[in-house]
Structure 1
Amino acid sequence: MVTPIDDVIDQVDNTLCAACFDAIYCAINNKLLQWLVEKNVSCPIFVTWMIADHNGNDELRGCIGTLSPVPISQIGHYAKMSAFEDTRFPPISGDELPRLMCGVSLLHTYEAAANPHDWEIGKHGVIVKFEQNGRQYSATYLPEVAEEHNMSREDAVKQLVRKAGYRGALSQELLSSVKVTRYQSKKLKLSFREYASLEHDGESEQ
């Protein structure tokens, strides 16, 4: 039986990030996986890779996930998609591994917002959905995005409309028609150095 993520959110830890590192390390080096995620839990997942530049600042290197619930045992699949298939970036290479930071976002507590601004920056991620000229649009920001980029709620909604692919005028009528779903996220982080130093017995999240 699959356990809802809301019931066990406090029980998951950054061994999920270790499984992500393991997935891409083994893919690059043609080795067998060591970290296996066994917990029978499903939720929406995003895997984010950040890389330290020569000044020590972290830059986005890849981010892919799904807003539909999937078993967290599939975390390695999304780790590799984020590392190798994010079309904004070239695939991550082996020599980049030591500078990587992995972030795993487990999304939970979905709620319909009363209006496009009914959410809290830094706490809620948001999904916008709207229809224009018979076409459906949607896009999301994880909870940390608006805060990290100093966006207001209004700015975030406008940028999400653009992220969804809409290129028309941002009229007040359009913005008022946007439906927002807010959610929360448990964010887990692990550096490659921490991953390399972990001792394990081949399993995580029993």
Structure 2
Amino acid sequence: MRGIEHIPWLYDSVMSLADALGLAHWRRALAHTAGGCVLEVGCGTGRNLPLYPPGVDVIGLDPDLESLARARRRAPHVPLVAARVEALPFREGAFDTVVSSLVFCSVDDPVQGLREIRRVLRSEGQLRMLEHVRSSRPFRAWLQDRVQPLWTALSGGCRPNRRTEAMVEEAGFRIDPHEREAVHVLKRFSAHPISDGIRSGTD
């Protein structure tokens, strides 16, 4: 069965409602301060692509060709690439910023995807993420665990109970405590790659 994430018109309808209820603010905050050469992974139907400021060079990436076709209509001048985040077709250090918006709940191998992002980021680069994550409240986390199998099947891959921030750190990033916004399970934050020398010195 195809999930919501794999039916672009249905996914766009759901996201239009979410944007009207406040998600649009989070999207703008995510995109407006991205700079330099930007890769947006999991760009989907391209809802974020028109939000980047002038002068920013953006590439959108998503594995779903139907979603990319819709993104092309939404942002006709943005280069689009069909690929998975776990195997990015770019050289090391190619980007100043990588943006992820409601993506890593659905990535099959999230730590590998984050390691790939670290590889293509410049040493002073920035990962900017907007994700819904596992609740810090035990009862809500328990509910997420209970609904996860059914919701994953209906949505087409989304796992609402992922500990995404812990995975970001496991993949070699340091989360900036001054660039975090959180409401319940929705979080926006920035992270920077940790150099191999710093990581090995703290092991």
Q: TM-score, normalised by structure 1?
A: 0.24
Structure label with greater radius of gyration: 1
Q: TM-score, normalised by structure 2?
A: 0.25
**Higher strand proportion:** 1
Report which structure shows greater RCO (CA 8 Å, sep ≥6). Answer: 1
**Higher helix proportion:** 2
